[in-house]
Every structure is written in C-alpha cells, then in structure tokens.
Amino acid sequence: MNIYDQVSWNKTKSYIIIFIFIIFISSLGIFLGWLYGSYILGFIVFTIAAVIYSIIAWIEGSNIILKATGAREVTKAEYPHLFHAIEGLSIAAAIPIPKAYVIDDESLNAFATGKDPKNASITVTTGLLKKLNRQELEGVVAHEMSHIKNYDIRIMLFSVVMIGMTILLSHIILRSFLFSDRDRENNNFTIIIIVVGIILAVLAPFIAELMKLAISRKREYLADANGALLTRNPEGLASALEKISEKSELKKADKATAHLFIASPLKAKSFFSNLFSTHPPIDDRIKKLRSM
C-alpha cells in the first residue's frame, strides 16, 4: 500500500467507525424504546443523539482529547527547539505546521491528534523535552508527523470518542442492571433480564468490530518507518524510544486515550494494558529501526 492508498483507506475506516457507532446507538434506542413502550420513539431519539454526538466529535473531538490528557498549547518563546523540530518536519512532510502542545509530566511520551493535517496538533511531555536531544526529539516529532500525514489521527480520534462512548454505555447498562432495585415485581424483573441480555448480545460484536478497525499494531511500525524516512536518521527515533521505554507511564492516562500515544502511557502491570495492548513491544520497534 502506498501513502495515497493508506490515506484513503484510513478515511474510509473513519467513516465506517462513525457509521457503526450510529447503528449501534440506534439499535440501543430501539431496544430501550421497546422496553418502555415505543420503539419508534426510541429509535428516533437515539439516532438524533448519535448524529449530534458524531458532529460534536468531528468539530470538537481533538480539543476534548487535548483537555482529557491535560495538554496545554505552548508558545515558541517557551520551547523554541520543539517548534523548530515541528516546523522542520512539517516542511519535510510537506504538510501545514501542526500546533504544539505540552503535558506537564516528568514521564516521556507524545501523541498527535486532529481530524486532518490542516487541523492537527502534536503534544509532548515536558519530561520528553528535558531528556531527549535534538536528533531524538526530531525522531519522535517525525513519528507523530507521519501519523498526521497518513490520516491515522482521524481514525484514532474517532475511535477514542466513539469507542469511549460505546464502552461507557455498555458499562452503564450492565451496572444499572446489576444494581437495579430487586424489590420490583418478579415478572417485570425477568423481562428486564431478558432485554438486557439481548442488548449486551447485540452490543458485543459492535464493540469488537470498532476495536478491530481502530487498533492496528501495524500503524505504529509504519509511523516509525515513515518517520525515519522523514528525518533520514532512524537512530534518532531508536534512541528516543529507548529513553521513552524507561519511563512512559503518565500520571493522567486512561485506557480511552492510551492508544494515541507513541508508547503506552498505562502502567505496565495493569490488566488493561496487556489485554488491549495497542502498542507493539518497544524493543522490537527499536530493533527494526536499527536494522534500517
């Protein structure tokens, strides 16, 4: 696949994610509506809500992500070398200059977000700025720049916003079922159990499908390779990854945004980081870069 195929495939994937999400919410509306008497009303209300949510995600998604990760926009006077790296690599990649954001955290990590290269930003931690030299910083920025150029950022944006909401909703349904007051009539309660069972059965494949689209370990390898092509210096990123692997866990990280980052920001021992490991082993990435 060349870069143009990648871009158009990534765009298509983004639309599929939105589409599956709206279908999922609509069917949820039908079931809930059915439970409360009018499935048509449920369908209409939930579909409208899903469409509005998607529009908000499209317009405000990257700002929501930046807020959630605690990133703040910085000026050139504050971090001139970060700006130089970003400006230089946007020239090399021939895309508009992304905005620069910083997370105040001693750990080393970075991510890019936005819906397209014109509306993109690159975020790095202050720890990363402190510990990496120029070549290493350029390596990391180049990795993020290729995520932007490829439209990986669009898929990742929608997967964060849509999958986040999907998982949240399924949790709410599950919890409200588990903790619903059981003093109600026995007969009524049985119906609820059946309905919740059906809803969860419908839900599971949707979530699985969304996950499959969004999570691709290949994406990280590809961004490493394209990044190395931009700097013409694979060693920069390789030695940056070495430093990052020593301390990449962020204070303010959650599983919804974890797969945006260059290295997993979650605690290595956490159950989720193993189960939904979105990042290929960092040693392997370093080895691949060094063999270029």
Partner 1 sequence: MIGLIIGITVGVIILGGIFLYNSVIRLKNQVDNSWAQIDVQLKRRFDLIPNLIETVKGYAKHEKEVLTNVTKARTEFLSAKTIEDKAKADNQLNETLKSLFAVSENYPDLKANQNFLQLQEELAGTESKIAYARQLYNDTVMEFNTKIETFPNNFFASMFKFTQRQLFETDKEERKNIKVQF
Which residues have CB under 8 Å from 246's CB, separation 6+? 108
Q: In this structure, what are the phi and psi dihedrals at residue 120, rounded to the nearest 5 degrees?
A: -125, 160
- State the nearest-atom distance from the C-beta of 234 to partner 1, in Å: 15
Each as own residue / partner, the long-range contacts of residues 12-18 (CB below 8 Å, 24 or more positions apart, any chain) are 13/155, 13/213, 14/151, 14/154, 14/155, 14/157, 14/158, 16/213, 17/155, 17/158, 17/159, 17/162, 17/210, 17/213, 17/214, 18/54, 18/57, 18/158, 18/162
- Of the pair 70, 88, the CB lying nearest partner 1 is at 88
- State the nearest-atom distance from the C-beta of 84 to partner 1, in Å: 3
Task: Write down the catalytic residue from 136, 138, 144, 220.
Answer: 144
- State the nearest-atom distance from the C-beta of 16 to partner 1, in Å: 30
Q: Could you give the C-alpha distances from 281 to 85, 146, 220, 244, 277, in angstroms and in order?
A: 26, 20, 10, 12, 9
Cα separation of 161 and 207, whole Å? 13
Tell me, yes or no, if 144 is annotated catalytic.
yes
- State the nearest-atom distance from the C-beta of 271 to partner 1, in Å: 41
Chain residues in the site for partner 1 (CB under 8 A): 80-81, 83-85, 87-89, 91-92, 94, 134, 138, 230, 232
Q: Which residue type does 231 have?
A: T
Cα separation of 109 and 47, whole Å? 37
- Of the pair 140, 260, the CB lying nearest partner 1 is at 140
- State the nearest-atom distance from the C-beta of 132 to partner 1, in Å: 11
Which residues have CB under 8 Å from 239's CB, separation 6+? 135, 136, 139
- Of the pair 139, 265, the CB lying nearest partner 1 is at 139
- Of the pair 25, 89, the CB lying nearest partner 1 is at 89
- Of the pair 53, 83, the CB lying nearest partner 1 is at 83
Q: In this structure, what are the phi and psi dihedrals at residue 215, rounded to the nearest 5 degrees?
A: -95, 115
Catalytically active residues are 144
